[in-house]
Amino acid sequence: MVKKALLVLICLSGLLLFIGCTNEEIGFDNNDIEEIISIEVANKSEEIVVSFALFLSPEDDWGEEMLEGEEIGPGEVYVFEMPERTYNLALMTSEVYVLHNEFGIDSDVEIEVGGENKIPVFIENVSESDLQALYISQHDNEHWGDNWLISEKEYIPAEIGRRVFFVEPGIYDVLAIDFQGETAIEAYNLDMSEAKLLTID
C-alpha cells in the first residue's frame, strides 16, 4: 500500500503489447488438441469493444484480430474457446483506448469490462514519458492504494498511450509516475460522478 504523504516507488520494468494471433498463426491444429480453455468477455460498460487482441505468452509476434470486424457492444457477452495454451490479451475501443489487459491466461477466465453504475476514467498520455504506475484513490483515503497498472508487463506508453479505468461515482485523487520515478500528474478532489478525461502532458 502506498501512503499519499510519503510515496516510496519501486520502478517496474514491463512491456504492453497490443497484438493478436489466430490459431493458424500460432502454429497448432485444433484437431490435434483435446483440451480447450474458455475466455469470456462481458461488456458491462457503455464502450464498444472493437479489438480483441490475443497472443501467445510470452511471444510477441503480431497476429490477426480475433473479432474480425465484429464488435462487443454494451451488455454483450462473447465467449472464445481456444486450445489450451498460455495467452495474453488486450481489449480496445475504436479510439484505441485500452479497456482491459489480461496476462498469463492458461485456464478458463471471465473478464468483466466496466460494471453497474461505474464511471469511465479516460487517461491520455501525450507526454514524452512512459507511465509505469497509476493510482486512483478516493479523496478521503489516507493511502494511494494499489497501482492500477496491475501487471509488471503493463505500462501507458508516451505520446500515444490511452487507457480506460472504471470507478464508483465519487471524489478521487490521481497520481501517475513514469519509469524515472518522476510525477507525471498529481491531482486532487476530482469529481468523478460522470465520465472523466485526464490528459497527461
pLDDT at 24 over 80: no
pLDDT given for residue 91 in this prediction: 95
pLDDT given for residue 43 in this prediction: 98
Residue range 25-35: average pLDDT?
Answer: 54
CATH 3.20.20.150, applies to 23-113: no
pLDDT at 48 over 60: yes
The C-alpha atoms of residue 179 and residue 9 are separated, in whole angstroms, by 10
pLDDT tens for residues 172-190?
Answer: 999 999 999 999 999 999 9
The ranges assigned to domains in the chain are 23-113, 116-200
pLDDT tens for residues 135-175?
Answer: 999 999 999 999 999 888 899 999 999 999 999 999 999 99
pLDDT tens for residues 73-85?
Answer: 999 999 999 999 8
**The two domains 23-113 and 116-200 share their CATH topology (first three levels equal):** yes
Fold of 116-200: Immunoglobulin-like (2.60.40)
pLDDT given for residue 151 in this prediction: 83
pLDDT tens for residues 114-142?
Answer: 999 999 999 999 999 999 999 999 999 99
pLDDT given for residue 193 in this prediction: 97
pLDDT at 3 over 50: no
**Whole-number mean pLDDT of the chain?**
84
